[in-house]
Chain A
């Protein structure tokens, strides 16, 4: 790995790691009586071995000049492995936390293992650990192919990947120690937030620098989505995390906003984390890997323009539908609901564009589980966005809010759309990256597909049932005009659905384990002597090889 870095990059890597280790030392010293100190030691424990690792490879020969005529895929490979590690871990924790709602004593009377602390471990591991690593890995792969340009240097992608995983690690270990801002999906504290901003700026610079050197006149659709993902997540992250730390020796900070303004800012962030992290980025993935795998051009270029700008503009208005009937002024609630309904148009335009792209390739969907992953993902994307618009209607929300229906909706999107499109893309890209003919086992891909699909369906149906029953029980009056059910009655009624949900989650988790094994075995098997498209997978203008995907096609 170090052998692919130039001498200057190796030196810069040592300097960066040295600075980071010093920051870790300062945190360890200033936060002696605080979890901040433990994070300082964690940073030191990670940076010092990495310094030795770079030094150990320092005198290996420098990479040859020929590298500049090839794509740089090592960070993408590492990112995919990281994504698979995070998903296995995150789904395991998720299923554990689901079983805690069946057997609440599964915490073993420890502080770190209670529901409130490991729930964010689950959400952060799957959203940011799995989703984020998959986005970084695939975006770097797609960016190079669609621009026909190599990444601008070798060090910055590693900085982004390693730095991002450091952020995830600090976040997850923090929750176990009780370090959290309590803002959903923005739980990490101020120091982790600042670090993520630095990583994110470098990530965007990679995009700008590579696009500046592109050999194609147009920026391909997938990159529009990846860029929107990077840019808007940066805006959301910075605004929602404005806080004042108690001191430089405290992990704890107090949010600048309070009450109703804080609630609106949080759900403006929260819903657009869904929009720009879990939708925009993964649509970028879909717009490259689905047409590539199907061997068909995108159905409609104009539809992708409409859906892209519709999503980018309208999503930012809808966060207030999380606050219907609350102390938030009603005009904001109404705006949120209205835009949520309009949002269905660009959402279905995206889903429809994906499915119509498959026209002429449906026999491949039948035979190829990888493509089927992506097809079903597009279907779930359509279903979930419809459900989302529906749930944003105020009277519907009166029933669904605060119940398991929301959890079911989120998982229809997270499992059915985000995870399936990611697994499909990973199964497509792994053989390309490692220069293999195909995955180690096509039957294991098939097995993973059915485990994932059945797990998702069981999960979502369980939560629909429990959520609607819960909502109805809370609002049912008896003939004398008093509430018919106590809260505990509704809790008892949830029990069978919680068992079903945890079972569905278990199936999905097992699918990910199968996928991990399959990817691992694909990497371990010897490369095919000469994979057919290796020679064309190089950064030269379109006329010399197969054409890169371009928006006009």
Chain B
């Protein structure tokens, strides 16, 4: 065996190829089947897609690096289920390009944050976390409330997401900018169409408490309020297990 190696280490190309082969096996065995084994991702027929406003909010969440301190993955451990709610299922992040499971909890898990607090709480908390939670370590994000949200290119964003596998319809893509406006401005003429396109359960509210152009704050709060609520399959399976 060592004699063989004695020969191998005399040829550059042979050595390089051996490295690639040795290093590729693990990835192939562990990753490729995740795309082909059906049980990897559960079925959730009621699963809806993110609205354009929520996508914009998600992009702000990514831009600000929120994932560095907040996970979105409740593990199958008793204390996590007691603290944060039913454990996360793979299907819940099937439209997450990329996933935001996170790796560190300097702050709490956010996988089931949606609906836990009011919009007003979120706005006050994001402007200065220590106004609502005196011992918080979170940075203040006051400028989000002062920055107008860019919505003119959301159609392109949805189209790109469709290209990587999210089932957006042509209609959703065509009206993305108007839908983002309508979802954050319930009194506007665009609001009703959002509900028809994205379903009855879509939250159409002001989010940032304003009535002019939607701010980045509105988008981020809309995203935080949908976390864990794209499908209720996790809650249902938890309830069944409890029976």
Give chain A's interface residues, CB within 8 Å of chain B.
33, 100-101, 104-105, 107, 109, 111, 114-117, 119-120, 175, 178-184, 207-208, 211-212, 217-219, 224, 227-228, 231-232, 235, 239, 244-247, 250, 252-266, 268, 276, 302, 305, 309, 312-320, 322-329, 332, 335-336, 339, 398, 401-403, 406-407, 474-475, 477, 482-483, 487-488, 491-492, 551-552
Contacts and interface: CB of A to CB of B under 8 A. Distances in A.
Given A219-B12, A250-B153, A268-B30, A312 B19 contact: yes
Contacts of A101: 106, 137
When A and B form their complex, which 10 residue pairs have the shortest distance between CB atoms, in order from nearest? A116-B65, A316-B26, A325-B75, A317-B26, A178-B63, A259-B93, A327-B90, A255-B98, A114-B139, A402-B105
Most buried by A among B59, B79, B89, B140: B79
B99 interface: yes
B98 A231 contact: no
A61 B91 CA distance: 66
Given A180-B62, A314-B26, A402 B71 contact: yes
B69 interface: yes
A282 B24 CA distance: 21
Given A266-B98, A482-B82, 17 more contacts: A104-B139, A211-B12, A231-B19, A231-B20, A235-B24, A252-B157, A254-B163, A258-B97, A261-B31, A263-B99, A276-B23, A327-B88, A327-B92, A327-B93, A328-B90, A329-B37, A402-B71
B22 A104 contact: no
Most buried by A among B80, B82, B92, B106: B106
A483 B83 CA distance: 8
B73 interface: yes
A180 B59 CA distance: 10
B187 interface: no
A474 B83 contact: yes
A319 B29 CA distance: 12
Most buried by A among B35, B62, B143: B62
B34 interface: yes
B124 interface: no
A260 B96 CA distance: 9
Contacts of B171: none
A309 B97 contact: no
Interface in B147-168: 150, 153, 156-157, 160-161, 163-166
A227 B19 contact: yes
A178 to B, nearest CB: 4
A182 B15 contact: no
Given A228-B19, A262-B98, A115 B10 contact: no
B64 to A, nearest CB: 5
Given A182-B67, A182-B98, A326-B75, A260 B31 contact: no
B45 interface: no
B9 interface: yes
B173 interface: no
Nearest to B17: A231
Contact of A115 (B26, B65, B83, B96): B65
Contact of B88 (A116, A117, A326, A336): A326
B138 interface: yes
A268 to B, nearest CB: 6
B97 A232 contact: no
B174 interface: no
Contacts of A324: 75
A477 B79 contact: yes
Given A107-B140, A182-B100, A232 B135 contact: no
A328 B31 CA distance: 11
Given A116-B139, A182-B62, A403-B105, A258 B75 contact: no
B198 interface: no
A475 to B, nearest CB: 4
Contacts of A328: 90
Given A398-B77, A402-B104, A255 B164 contact: yes
Contacts of B153: 246-247, 250
Interface string B178-219: 000000000000000000000000000000000000000000
Contacts of B139: 100, 104-105, 107, 114-116
A332 B33 CA distance: 10
Contacts of A492: 135
A42 to B, nearest CB: 19
B173 to A, nearest CB: 12
B2 interface: yes
B116 interface: no
Given A211-B12, A252-B157, A316-B26, A475 B79 contact: yes
A246 B108 contact: no
B66 interface: yes
B25 interface: yes
A408 to B, nearest CB: 12
B130 A402 contact: no
B142 interface: yes
Interface string B223-236: 00000000000000
Nearest to A211: B12
B108 A487 contact: yes
Contacts of B23: 228, 231-232, 235, 276, 312-313, 315-316
A252 B153 CA distance: 11
A377 B130 CA distance: 41
B131 interface: no
Given A255-B98, A262-B97, A232 B19 contact: yes
B102 to A, nearest CB: 8
Interface string B27-62: 101110011010111000000000000000001001
B34 A329 contact: yes
B138 A109 contact: no
A256 B64 contact: no
Nearest to A265: B31
Given A217-B10, A224-B9, A332 B62 contact: no
